[in-house]
């Protein structure tokens, strides 16, 4: 046990790493068994909701990052048996814990990473929401259990592991259209000995005990209903989806501070804005105006929608000619991105969305929550009609989803001589990505990729600006509803995301309801995006060469990366791939040094906050 002054100093250092995520308040707790620092982003009960929040006897408390959307209904069930001291949504958690223990998690509808401490029993409950929207890291060390909302907060602790996990560096995207990828079987932390608590699980820990995560939620019961229950008419599923979405949006408008929306002009974000507007919510809407989004028609649709709904519209200009110079992109910027992301990761989507959040905080400084269309595609067939690699029909899409028998056998470790003899279906296990109907397998896979990429990215780029990313399409009731649709109706409801389009028909004009699915920035000619990324790589490398290469601890060969850098400056077709490789190596080297030096305060990394250098586009 470290002396109390040393524990306080460690908590202060950990708190500094979380200051962007929780800029409004800092509280510490230390009883000699549990030491905790909490940084708050004040959204609900701004004046009275300071955390940790205690029970009546002050024998247990909760500290929570996130929101409980159904807290008002839960509060009604607690009246008469508990004295509620605040209006905070988090307070219901501690009283439910007193009554039900970990079973309380079944009662919550929300996005959260939470810690409940029962100091009398010396019992710690760590839990993460069902879909893994909010992050929660943990590491077992000789000194005990470390946990936190961000990797960087753990890395400053003297006992924290700090070795780069090379296995987590997935570079399978090199040579493709994107700047990131994920093909693994677990959500990476990129550090040996550190894990992310999976969505839908909890840890019930105590001194001297190292439990494994326990699952409290999965898709399997909903998938079982899809297989076992008699199907209803397709229209009934579509109607229920629309009703659930309206209720999810209503719940996620909960706030005592301004809420905004990212409006791409596509189906998903447009539907959220229209549903919110119908409930009387005036959301400031922010849109990326770049050549790719203009060519796709997104910006024009976004403008027309905000005019029809009478919503404030902020089209933000991204000019690929000089964009990196305009935002002052440098090695310090790339280091800030790696620190922000808790990962060796830098992509066009991250850059654009980061700058959109930055602009939003500049023009609406009090804004603290943002509605996003993230998660609408994964469980509703949104990737069934991919741009650039079209398929003719649902059967063609499903055929792409089904791994070839050898791939299934390799994944299960079947050796070459046996592969011609083994029936692949005999090795599928319930709940595995290989079991069940093809689109149910895809749903299971998407649960993992959401946590490894999409939700990770949205959370970090919002949190660094003191903004909470909200994703109504990932209300677990919506996800379960989609998973419970019988396979016989998948073609009718999931081909080209038909179920979402049917829901949208009651809220949006036909031009948006029937707009084609266009991935963000990957709309046809992406040369302007690649030009921005090449420029960013070139601007960073000279300073990177001096700071990170040619030293005893250098991760990469200086001569090898100089050769890659030279390819980015050529006119040959391979310069885009060279820029991707160069950025991958630079972010990996920065991340490795961050892991090693962050605890020594040897890195002076500053987030790129307001004011934004970008301007409003003339749309």
Residue positions in the annotated binding site for L-glutamine?
A: 89
Q: What is the largest CA-CA distance in the chain?
A: 73
Strand partners, 62: 53, 116
For 110, counting Cβ atoms within 10 Å of its Cβ (0-12 exposed, 13-18 middle, 19+ buried), the class is buried
Q: List, in sequence order, the alpha helices (H) in 67-156.
A: 71-78, 91-100, 151-155
Q: Which two tokens stand for residue 536?
A: 């960013």
The kind and range of the H/E element at 147 are strand 144-148
Q: Which tokens hold the place of 165?
A: 């996990």
Neighbouring CB atoms inside 10 A of 589's CB total 22
Give the 3-state secondary structure of residue 195. Answer: strand
Q: Which residues are annotated as a binding site for ATP?
A: 288
| Binding-site residues | 89, 288
How far apart CA 515 and CA 91 sit, in angstroms, is: 43
User: What's the distance, Cα to Cα, between the start and end of the chain in Å?
Assistant: 61
Which of 496, 516, 507, 514 has its CA nearest to residue 295? 516
Q: How far apart are CA 426 and CA 441, in angstroms?
A: 16
Extract the tokens encoding 491.
């073609």
% helix, strand, coil for the chain, step of 5:
45, 15, 40
CB 22 within 8 A of CB 49: no
Phi/psi at 38 (5° precision): -125, 125
Strand 369-371 and strand 468-470: the pairing is parallel
Q: Give the residue among 157, 153, 152, 147 at the shortest CA–CA distance from 195.
A: 147
What does DSSP say about strands 214-215 and 35-40: parallel, antiparallel, or unpaired? unpaired
Torsion of Cα atoms, 333 then 336 then 337 then 340, to 10°: -160
E-strand stretches of 164-291: 195-196, 201-205, 214-215, 259-262, 285-289
Please enumerate in sequence order all residues whose Cβ is within 8 A of that of 48, keeping only pairs 6 or more positions apart, or say none.
85, 86, 87, 88
The C-alpha angle 55, 16, 169, rounded to 5 degrees, equals 105
- The span from the CA of 137 to the CA of 147, in Å, is 5
User: Residue 601: is it exposed, middle or buried by C-beta count within 10 angstroms (0-12/13-18/19+)?
Assistant: exposed
Strands 110-118 vs 123-128: parallel, antiparallel or unpaired: antiparallel
- Residue 83 to residues 69, 92, 94, 200, Cα–Cα distance (Å): 20, 10, 11, 29
Over its C-alpha atoms, the chain yields an Rg (Å, rounded) of: 24
CA distance 115 to 93: 10
| Interacting residues of 388 by C-beta distance below 8 A, sequence separation 6+ | 177, 522
Q: Three-class SS of residue 275?
A: helix
């Amino acid at each position: 046990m470290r002396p109390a002054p040393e524990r306080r100093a460690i908590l202060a250092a950990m708190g500094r790493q979380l200051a962007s995520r929780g800029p409004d308040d800092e509280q510490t707790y230390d009883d000699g068994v549990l030491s905790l620092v909490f940084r708050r982003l004040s959204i609900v009960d701004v004046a009275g909701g300071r955390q940790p929040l205690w029970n009546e006897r002050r024998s247990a408390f909760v500290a929570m990052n996130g929101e409980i959307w159904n807290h008002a209904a839960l509060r009604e069930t607690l009246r008469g048996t508990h004295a509620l001291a605040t209006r905070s949504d988090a307070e219901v958690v501690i009283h439910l814990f007193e009554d039900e223990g970990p079973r309380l998690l079944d009662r919550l509808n929300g996005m959260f990473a939470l810690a409940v401490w029962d100091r009398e029993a010396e019992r710690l409950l760590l839990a993460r929401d069902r879909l893994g929207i909010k992050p929660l890291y943990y590491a077992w060390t000789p000194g005990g259990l470390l946990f936190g909302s961000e990797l960087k907060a753990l890395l400053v602790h003297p006992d924290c592991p700090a070795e780069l996990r090379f296995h987590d560096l997935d570079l399978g995207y090199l040579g493709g259209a994107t700047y990131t990828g994920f093909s693994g079987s677990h959500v990476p932390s990129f550090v040996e000995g550190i894990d992310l608590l999976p969505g839908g699980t909890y840890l019930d820990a105590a001194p001297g005990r190292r439990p494994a995560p326990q699952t409290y939620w999965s898709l399997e019961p909903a998938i079982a209903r899809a297989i076992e229950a008699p199907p209803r008419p397709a229209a009934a599923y579509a109607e229920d989806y629309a009703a659930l979405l309206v209720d999810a949006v209503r719940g996620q408008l909960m706030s005592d501070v301004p809420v905004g929306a990212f409006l791409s002009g596509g189906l998903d974000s447009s539907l959220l804005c229209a549903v919110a507007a119908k409930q009387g919510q005036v959301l400031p809407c922010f849109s990326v105006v770049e050549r790719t989004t203009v060519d796709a028609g997104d910006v024009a649709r976004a403008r027309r929608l905000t005019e029809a709904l009478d919503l404030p519209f902020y089209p933000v200009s991204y000019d690929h000619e000089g964009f990196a110079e305009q935002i002052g992109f440098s090695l310090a910027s790339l280091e800030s991105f790696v620190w922000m992301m808790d990962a060796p990761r830098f992509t066009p989507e991250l850059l654009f969305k980061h700058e959109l959040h930055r602009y939003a905080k500049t023009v609406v400084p009090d804004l603290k929550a943002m509605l996003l269309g993230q998660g609408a595609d994964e469980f509703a067939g949104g990737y069934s009609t991919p741009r650039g690699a079209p398929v003719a029909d649902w059967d063609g899409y499903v055929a792409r989803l089904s791994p070839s028998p050898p791939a299934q056998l390799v994944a299960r470790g079947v050796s070459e001589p046996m592969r011609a003899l083994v029936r692949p279906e005999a090795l599928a296990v319930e709940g595995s990505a290989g079991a069940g109907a093809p689109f149910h397998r895809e749903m299971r896979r998407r649960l993992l990729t959401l946590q490894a990429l999409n939700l990770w990215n949205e959370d970090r780029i919002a949190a660094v600006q003191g903004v909470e990313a909200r994703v109504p399409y990932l209300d677990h009731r919506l996800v379960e509803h989609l998973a419970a649709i019988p396979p016989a109706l998948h073609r009718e409801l999931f081909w080209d995301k038909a179920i979402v389009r049917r829901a949208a028909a009651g809220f949006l004009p036909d031009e948006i309801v029937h707009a084609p699915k266009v991935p963000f920035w990957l709309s046809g000619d992406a040369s302007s995006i690649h030009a921005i990324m090449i420029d960013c790589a070139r601007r960073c490398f000279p300073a990177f060469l001096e700071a990170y290469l040619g030293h005893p601890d250098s991760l990469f060969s200086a001569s090898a990366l100089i050769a890659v850098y030279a390819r980015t400056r050529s006119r040959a077709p391979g310069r885009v791939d060279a820029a991707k490789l160069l950025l991958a190596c630079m972010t990996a080297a920065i991340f490795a040094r961050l892991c090693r030096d962050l605890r020594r305060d040897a890195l002076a990394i500053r987030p790129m906050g307001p004011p934004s250098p970008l301007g409003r586009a003339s749309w």
